[in-house]
Structure 1
């Protein structure tokens, strides 16, 4: 099912507006590495804007928009933001909800009564959102306005004119006048205390491996490393599979992600006036704001919704030292309140806790030893000097993405780093990025050819993980590319000298 959308936003160029010239038939070559939500959303926005460019997305998956989150076929994996706030189009916040309601009405999407909460909000399965992204992209893929190349980038070279040539895993090559990095974050590394279990069937390093999870004995005693959203996904999946054994989730603070609350009106707190300049000041202002909102009959959810909306402005006023201090001391508290559980998943966790089959502990895992029929785990509770030894049947790693190793993990990023064209973010959150989302090279200068989309730019923006924030960020990147496409015939005549008979890619 492909639902017709309203007329697109204003175009940057229309073939009816003026006679076609050689410069107009020559297009800038834009290549996006990564076809998850950020990369797919950027390609879609460029197509909707009719930017004068050939847009290619290099993504090994068969469908664009189906990154790690939205490729899951697990029925209990649901979006953790209400459907009316999810969209590819920042100008139409309820685009996904409108698509969802129409799809259910015409029968192209099976009904899912469990997705609707008591408050009437919808939290559909994550694969449904992936389908929405795919259907929005489909017309542009069919016309060739967006080209999807199913491959991985194995290496990158820089040409004398400054453009980049990408060597792909299928042995083909693509030239890019503008390169956008939208690869997301790498999978979590196996933590050192359990590294000795690598290769053992008792260690599950990929928490989204459905086969490995299904193979676990239903009565197995399971240790989950991590307590955030991925951990909740694992627990909910095990529960659906009929798991009966005890599950222990260990993390530094022992805090799990919070659920959603009802927000009847927006918080009126302003975290930008006066500007906040330190992590301690931010904490103090948030605490006072929660008290003020509670006095108005609101829960802390309203405060954090406001905090999330003003996050980029808050982050921009903090210097490097206070950004680092905030990450060091407040990141866990922010994450468990900001990245909330879908109500359906929260209900599972609450039930298992009440049944004493699930517990969250704060501490540090020290070692794991393989025994004949189990694992001996040694850990130290937070704030204690005494070690504890417990026996488990399996360990599942859900410690979150290894943001600091994105360059080492990805051959394309590694190649660009060797060329001196990108550098890591000093906070270890991804790649160094300018105000306009251009990459920062080894000399500290802004690259005019490489842009950073999605979570890799988090160090500059501060809050850039959820789909709504990523859609807003890639919208600004789309406008920047449109600007460069308009100026290309003047600033880069060699880059657009190829005519329609030449290979546009």
Structure 2
């Protein structure tokens, strides 16, 4: 069955990126606009990021910077006060991620109620298997055999939830494969970043008492947030388009100057934030590759920080030996009587080690190649050449306007992408403050109006 609609935008993915784009699109007063939001999960708004139920799974961004709207930066903060979750005079607050998922759900519910009489919003709970461009627009084929037809489709599928290819010996925490485990079983976690911290908190909540080892190439733990004073920078102050070594030297010098003036490295990192995407986009390909290979791990622990209370708990676990951080590479694994033998090569060592564990958890973050990932609609697009991975294979190749680029290098005027799928072009596009800006701009383009809050 083919279901046709009027002047319409089909958004594939109803997590944070999809809901934010929906909210920005429907700020338009165009009565002919139709938005269809397609989500395969049972609920809209949460996605993978905000489905976490533990109260210890906190946002890594302060609540005052988590508004859905760039032009109304206090929107989330007011909602928290209205729900009596925080007081107006509270200091820096890092709310549970489940609370933010509830905020996005209620935001969408409010939009749906407002649009009920005009019929401009439709919510569809189905998995989208493929998207095809047609003479008049796009057709999205759903798992139940029906199709949606519109003028434009926007991919907002977020992160791949399956382990990366080649790591099928590992499971994702909380997945169907994460079956009950003996409380004293040793565990290996791949990755030492924020996803590892979430996994460790989950294991702690379950009462797990076995040895937990977290391994990454450098074994680095993210730093905690602290209240600071971001330095003020102008784009003319930043050496755009240089090789990585020059930029790193400039950055270190800026940190030293800031420290002499009474500040610290956080003030520099936070002062650079408005320019991060521009810095990435102006680097030559050689600088981008060197950054990913040599510098990204150091940048991540300074840029993507933990709430102070969570950092204190993790640090105490490391000090007491309940959590072991290991800088090493995984060379291979094999199963042995229900356990997993993992062969490791520690950093700066020629001698390998064998670690026997009851389970391996994958917390390495993003899939390295979306064309081989588990998201059906993305694989379908890349298989047919309607989309291609970006040159670094961090996500889909898109223009600065979020238009999807096909295998021949042509930018589509009917297929777009937002959120983590676009990290190859925007790099820092995982956090809500970045995604809300991106979706507001794209909504402005798709509705032929200036996006609110942008100059």
TM-score w.r.t. structure 2 length? 0.90
Query: What is aligned with 1:488?
Result: none
SS at 2:196 equivalent: helix
The structural deviation recorded for 1:321 is 2.4
Query: What is aligned with 2:94?
Result: 123
* Greater Cα offset, 137-146 or 176-185: 137-146
SS at 1:359 equivalent: strand
Unaligned runs of 5+ in 2: 451-455
The structural deviation recorded for 1:454 is 0.8
The structural deviation recorded for 1:415 is 2.9
Q: How does 1:68-107 map to 2 (within 5 A)?
A: 68-104=48-84
Distance 2:447 2:388 in 1: 25
The structural deviation recorded for 1:270 is 4.6
Match of 2:128 among 137, 153, 161: 153
Distance 1:421 1:238 in 2: 41
Distance 1:44 1:343 in 2: 32
Q: Cα 1:285–1:442, aligned 2, differ >3 Å: closer, same or farther?
A: same
Distance 1:58 1:316 in 2: 31
Give deviations 1:3-45, integer Å, cap 9, x for gaps.
xxxxxxxxxxxxxxxxxxxxxxx94111011111111100011
Distance 1:340 1:74 in 2: 19
Q: Cα 1:158–1:375, aligned 2, differ >3 Å: closer, same or farther?
A: closer
Q: Cα 1:411–1:238, aligned 2, differ >3 Å: closer, same or farther?
A: closer
Distance 1:377 1:403 in 2: 21
Distance 2:276 2:360 in 1: 35
Q: How does 1:31-70 map to 2 (within 5 A)?
A: 31-51=10-30, 52-70=32-50
Distance 1:249 1:331 in 2: 18
Query: What is aligned with 2:453?
Result: none
SS at 1:48 equivalent: coil
Would the aligned equivalents of 1:267 and 1:306 in 2 still touch at CA under 8 Å? yes
Distance 1:120 1:182 in 2: 33
Give deviations 1:54-105, integer Å, cap 9, x for gaps.
000111123221110111112211111110011110111221111111111x
Would the aligned equivalents of 2:48 and 2:161 in 1 still touch at CA under 8 Å? no
Give deviations 1:366-398, integer Å, cap 9, x for gaps.
233333364333211111111112332322121
Is residue 415 of structure 2 the alignment partner of residue 450 of structure 1?
yes
Distance 1:272 1:391 in 2: 53
Distance 2:266 2:146 in 1: 50
Match of 1:212 among 153, 174, 178: 178
Give deviations 1:242-271, integer Å, cap 9, x for gaps.
2222211111111122211221x2213456
Match of 1:132 among 99, 103, 106: 103
Is residue 228 of structure 2 the alignment partner of residue 268 of structure 1?
no
Is residue 266 of structure 2 the alignment partner of residue 293 of structure 1?
no
Query: What is aligned with 2:159?
Result: 185
Distance 2:383 2:333 in 1: 37
* Greater Cα offset, 247-256 or 405-414: 405-414
Unaligned runs of 5+ in 1: 1-25, 198-202, 486-505
Query: What is aligned with 2:374?
Result: 409
Q: Cα 1:227–1:191, aligned 2, differ >3 Å: closer, same or farther?
A: farther
Distance 1:226 1:278 in 2: 28
Match of 1:239 among 192, 196, 204: 204
Q: Cα 1:418–1:405, aligned 2, differ >3 Å: closer, same or farther?
A: closer
Give deviations 1:168-193, integer Å, cap 9, x for gaps.
1122110021111111131353564x
Would the aligned equivalents of 1:236 and 1:348 in 2 still touch at CA under 8 Å? no
Distance 1:415 1:137 in 2: 29
SS at 2:230 equivalent: coil
TM-score w.r.t. structure 1 length? 0.82
Would the aligned equivalents of 2:388 and 2:407 in 1 still touch at CA under 8 Å? yes
Indicate the RMSD between aligned Cα atoms, in angstroms.
2.4
SS at 1:465 equivalent: coil
Q: Cα 1:150–1:262, aligned 2, differ >3 Å: closer, same or farther?
A: same
Give deviations 1:242-301, integer Å, cap 9, x for gaps.
2222211111111122211221x2213456435322211221122112112212222211
Distance 2:62 2:95 in 1: 9
Q: How does 1:302-341 map to 2 (within 5 A)?
A: 302-341=267-306
Q: Cα 1:209–1:421, aligned 2, differ >3 Å: closer, same or farther?
A: closer
* Greater Cα offset, 442-451 or 225-234: 442-451
Q: Cα 1:406–1:134, aligned 2, differ >3 Å: closer, same or farther?
A: farther
SS at 1:310 equivalent: helix
The structural deviation recorded for 1:135 is 1.1
Query: What is aligned with 1:172?
Result: 146
Distance 1:422 1:235 in 2: 36
Q: Cα 1:191–1:177, aligned 2, differ >3 Å: closer, same or farther?
A: closer
Distance 2:306 2:127 in 1: 33
Would the aligned equivalents of 1:185 and 1:403 in 2 still touch at CA under 8 Å? no
Would the aligned equivalents of 2:371 and 2:382 in 1 still touch at CA under 8 Å? no
Is residue 307 of structure 2 the alignment partner of residue 346 of structure 1?
no
Distance 1:166 1:328 in 2: 37
